[in-house]
Structure 1
Amino acid sequence: MRHVLEVFGVFLRLGLTSFGGPVAHLGYFREAFVTRRAWLTDAAYADLVALAQFLPGPASSQVGMALGWLRAGWGGLVAAWLAFTLPSALLMFAFALGVGRLGATGGWAHGLMLASVAVVAHAVVGMARTLTPDAPTRTLAVLSAAFTLLAPGPAAQLLLLLVAGLLGWRFLPATGLLVAADAFPVPRGARRVAPVLLGLFVALLVALPLLSAAWPAPALHLLSAFYRAGALVFGGGHVVLPLLEADVVRTGWVTPEAFTAGYGAAQAVPGPLFTFSAYLGASTHLNVPPALGALCAVVGIFLPSLLLVAGTLPYWATLRSNRAVRAALRGVNAAVVGLLLAALYTPVITGAVHAPLDVVLALAAFAVLVRTRVPAWAVVLGCALLGPRL
């Protein structure tokens, strides 16, 4: 219990202060757990980061879960996730209640929507540099964006990721995933539990849509939609945007304006970006109390990561050396860039940019993110303040 409380305390401080997105979070984690506390070596930490890049879901949260599990078992995993997630989830829930009272059509909300244009464009550029370094992967990204725009929806996106993985396995060289030579310590008994967890991950992915169709309870609809988003999004962070948009905007659960304003606000809070789900769950037009909706959305979107991290850790040493797996992942990553590029067009640009001054503010915010060290949350707050003047 002492180690569990220790994990909770450290991750709560990180959840309150970790601004800057998943890349910055990984830097904070290294300082806290490798440099300051020496819970694991640099090489073992690099292995955990590589594992998170391999799995679908939020990378920084998955590394946090793994760190908590290695330190204090299952209690540590849950404590790390809860402490790191709770501050930003509560802030996004409070923001949803505020939007519900004030509406998402004011100038401040429009400023948040324009900030999201700059943030997503910055993410597209950064991910394209890393994940599409050559002509074949860039071509696959462009084709993926076109396919997503022509065939929106979660089923089409799943098909796209599967095809991209097959193309990567067949045609792309197996580069990337450069990990450390030494393996991290795996908890005792992990190999016995891992197959059960991976089986549960697949079972829920199949069963939740069937259950929500047979038993049309709004809370079950939310749990199913957000579980699917958390299970299928490769790349984490901003890449979840198109999956969530397909599930909550195209279905009419959340208006495009409220969706984009909430996404902008998510850039201004610490902790994982996936807590945007708390805002969406509380903002839906379904007949669900806001607190229950937020809880279903947050649990649904993070549960796949919990199952995958604990189910994959014992086998990571084998998976990371498989050339076919690495090549397939290159194809999936290129498709992820295409998905995010399509999301930049709709709903982000189409929902936020309506006049020449909108273009000017969005471009200025993008330039600040690219050319300066001003953090994203400061850019978001600046856009929110300037929004009423447009």
Structure 2
Amino acid sequence: MTDPTNPKDGKAPPAPGTPAEVFGAFLKLGLTSFGGPIAHLGYFRSEFVDRRRWLDDRSYADLVALCQFLPGPASSQVGMALGLQRAGWLGLLAAWTGFTLPSAIALILFALGLSEYEDMARSGWVQGLKVVAVAIVAQAVWGMARSLCPDRPRAAMAILAALLTMTVPSAAGQVAAIAATGLLGWLSPSVPQTGGGQARRYPVSRRAGIAALLLFAIPLIGLPLWAATSGSSTIALLEGIYRSGALVFGGGHVVLPLLQSTVVPGGIVDNADFLAGYGAAQAVPGPLFTFSAYLGAIANGPLHGWTGGLVLLVAIFLPALFILVGVLPFWESLRHRTGIRKAMAGINAGVVGILLSALYDPVWSSAIHGKADFGLALVSFGLLTVGRLPPAFVVLLAGLAGWAMGMGA
């Protein structure tokens, strides 16, 4: 019996796919992936490692570790890389579009006056969807721990990473955990030099990677100068949104203060409207960075409505795209070197620890408020792990169960 996580078992990597296939897979996730970036990574693993087998567990963990190091929305960057590897540049665009547009469209509609959605975040079906995120992340922790922490040293590193990220619950804590476990893996003689997983081929040359890094840096320098010399509120808004996406580590919740300081002091968005939009953003699936679409749609100024929403949506994700494409051609060759493989064995254990910490806070702490919530999470976990039902089906069942039981009301 072959092991799909072992690159030496003779199993060939999956055949290339099509942009349509990638779009369909990520659209389903964009419609059902509640629970924030850590939960998204659990959904991705269920869909692309377990179900579709686009890549093995170790390669997926390597990719997650890389995106945790980079600024920007880590789950969206993982999705972009998966789409790029599967179906080229159109695959990258298809992955981002499918995963991002459902929540972006919902938030733009909310900004345009659909006030009946104001109570969505407290509805029973949304509470059910938050609860099922607990089961999704628990399944990811369980599966990744079995393959990435099979011995005592790596299990200890995972526990260390969990303790670090619980003690310092921020992007800095995550980066510190990854750095510490990587260093321990590199220095420890008892950590095996694990294989790098299946070879991942990204259609990005080193020259293109360097160009992408330049494209990442140029707006960081050019947009503030343009805004200062022109005095344009529109350019200043674009500069603030791009900077927020370029300089934030840790995902959507960390970017909110940067966005608030960009749009509220100058009167582009009223603070009450900002907070109302943030509440609505909790009730939609997909990446929290799509909150920028709401801000663009409700903004006071030349950019507003559908145009403003879509422009700011692109502006906040562009730096994540540039930095990811810039490092991928160098990352794929580096991760197969002996020293890097030992460090990655430690980092992969650290990723498991980060997921374990996030399973408690914010996923568990924000979703489990009583016995009914815990029971629904337990049933969902059983359906995923024992029943092996598709995650999308379990998400639907949990949403219906939350509505039927009146959760969150």
TM-score range, shorter chain: 0.5 to 0.7
Structure 1 position 358 matched with structure 2 position 373? yes
- Tell me the amino acid that sits aligned with residue 120 of structure 1: V
The answer for the alignment partner of 1:237 in structure 2 is none
Q: 2:192 aligns with which of 170, 173, 180?
A: 173
Q: 1:144 aligns with which of 132, 141, 161?
A: 161
Structure 1 pair 156–318 and aligned structure 2 pair: CA distance change class (3 A): closer
- Tell me the amino acid that sits aligned with residue 181 of structure 2: A
Task: Give the 3-state SS of the residue equivalent to 2:176 in structure 1.
Answer: helix
Equivalent pair of 1:260/1:347 in contact (CA under 8 Å): no
Equivalent pair of 2:202/2:328 in contact (CA under 8 Å): no
User: 2: distance between equivalents of 1:141 and 1:205?
Assistant: 38
Task: Give the 3-state SS of the residue equivalent to 2:336 in structure 1.
Answer: coil
Structure 1 pair 66–139 and aligned structure 2 pair: CA distance change class (3 A): same
Equivalent pair of 2:335/2:344 in contact (CA under 8 Å): no
The answer for the alignment partner of 2:136 in structure 1 is 119
RMSD of aligned alpha carbons:
4.5
User: 1: distance between equivalents of 2:280 and 2:362?
Assistant: 11
User: Structure 1 residue 245: deviation in Å?
Assistant: 4.0
Equivalent pair of 1:193/1:311 in contact (CA under 8 Å): no
The answer for the alignment partner of 1:244 in structure 2 is 252
User: Structure 1 residue 150: deviation in Å?
Assistant: 1.6
> Cα deviation per residue 1:99-123 (whole Å; 9 max; x = unaligned)?
9723311212211111111112112
Pick which of 120-129 and 152-161 moved more.
152-161
Structure 1 position 326 matched with structure 2 position 337? no
Pick which of 83-92 and 191-200 moved more.
191-200
User: Structure 1 residue 199: deviation in Å?
Assistant: 6.0
User: Structure 1 residue 178: deviation in Å?
Assistant: 3.4
Q: Which has the larger radius of gyration?
A: 2
Pick which of 248-257 and 102-111 moved more.
248-257
Structure 1 position 338 matched with structure 2 position 353? yes
- Tell me the amino acid that sits aligned with residue 382 of structure 2: A
Structure 1 pair 287–304 and aligned structure 2 pair: CA distance change class (3 A): same
Q: 2:96 aligns with which of 66, 82, 85?
A: 85
> Cα deviation per residue 1:90-145 (whole Å; 9 max; x = unaligned)?
21224445697233112122111111111121122122222222111111111211
User: 2: distance between equivalents of 1:141 and 1:46?
Assistant: 16
User: 2: distance between equivalents of 1:336 and 1:283?
Assistant: 32
Q: Which structure 2 residues correspond to residues 8-19 of structure 1 after superposition, within 5 A?
A: 8=19, 11-16=22-27
Equivalent pair of 2:59/2:196 in contact (CA under 8 Å): no
Q: Which runs of 5+ in 2 are unaligned?
A: 1-16, 33-42, 68-73, 261-273
User: Structure 1 residue 340: deviation in Å?
Assistant: 1.6
Task: Give the 3-state SS of the residue equivalent to 1:21 in structure 2.
Answer: helix
> Cα deviation per residue 1:47-73 (whole Å; 9 max; x = unaligned)?
99798467425445314224554xxxx
User: 2: distance between equivalents of 1:207 and 1:331?
Assistant: 36
Q: 1:160 aligns with which of 145, 152, 177?
A: 177
The answer for the alignment partner of 2:324 in structure 1 is 308
User: 1: distance between equivalents of 2:280 and 2:255?
Assistant: 14
The answer for the alignment partner of 1:38 in structure 2 is none
User: 2: distance between equivalents of 1:286 and 1:159?
Assistant: 37
Q: Which structure 2 residues correspond to residues 1-390 of structure 1 after superposition, within 5 A?
A: 8=19, 11-16=22-27, 21-22=44-45, 24-25=47-48, 52=63, 55-56=66-67, 57=74, 58-69=77-88, 77=89, 79-96=90-107, 97=109, 101-103=117-119, 104-171=121-188, 172-179=191-198, 190-198=205-213, 203=217, 223-227=242-246, 243-248=251-256, 261-262=283-284, 266=285, 275-282=286-293, 292=308, 296=312, 300-301=316-317, 303-309=319-325, 311-313=327-329, 315=330, 318-388=333-403, 389-390=405-406
Structure 1 pair 356–370 and aligned structure 2 pair: CA distance change class (3 A): same
User: 1: distance between equivalents of 2:203 and 2:298?
Assistant: 43
User: 2: distance between equivalents of 1:112 and 1:217?
Assistant: 37
The answer for the alignment partner of 1:239 in structure 2 is none
The alignment covers a number of residue pairs equal to 334
User: 1: distance between equivalents of 2:158 and 2:275?
Assistant: 28
- Tell me the amino acid that sits aligned with residue 128 of structure 2: G
Equivalent pair of 1:131/1:334 in contact (CA under 8 Å): yes
User: 2: distance between equivalents of 1:46 and 1:131?
Assistant: 8
Equivalent pair of 1:137/1:334 in contact (CA under 8 Å): yes
Q: TM-score, normalised by structure 2?
A: 0.64
The answer for the alignment partner of 1:34 in structure 2 is none
User: Structure 1 residue 322: deviation in Å?
Assistant: 0.9
User: 1: distance between equivalents of 2:351 and 2:124?
Assistant: 32
Equivalent pair of 1:277/1:298 in contact (CA under 8 Å): no
Structure 1 pair 316–29 and aligned structure 2 pair: CA distance change class (3 A): farther
Structure 1 pair 340–383 and aligned structure 2 pair: CA distance change class (3 A): same
- Tell me the amino acid that sits aligned with residue 346 of structure 2: G
The answer for the alignment partner of 2:269 in structure 1 is none
User: 1: distance between equivalents of 2:64 and 2:167?
Assistant: 28
Task: Give the 3-state SS of the residue equivalent to 1:173 in structure 2.
Answer: coil
The answer for the alignment partner of 2:7 in structure 1 is none
Q: Which runs of 5+ in 1 are unaligned?
A: 1-5, 32-41, 70-76, 233-241, 267-274
Task: Give the 3-state SS of the residue equivalent to 1:345 in structure 2.
Answer: helix
Q: TM-score, normalised by structure 1?
A: 0.67
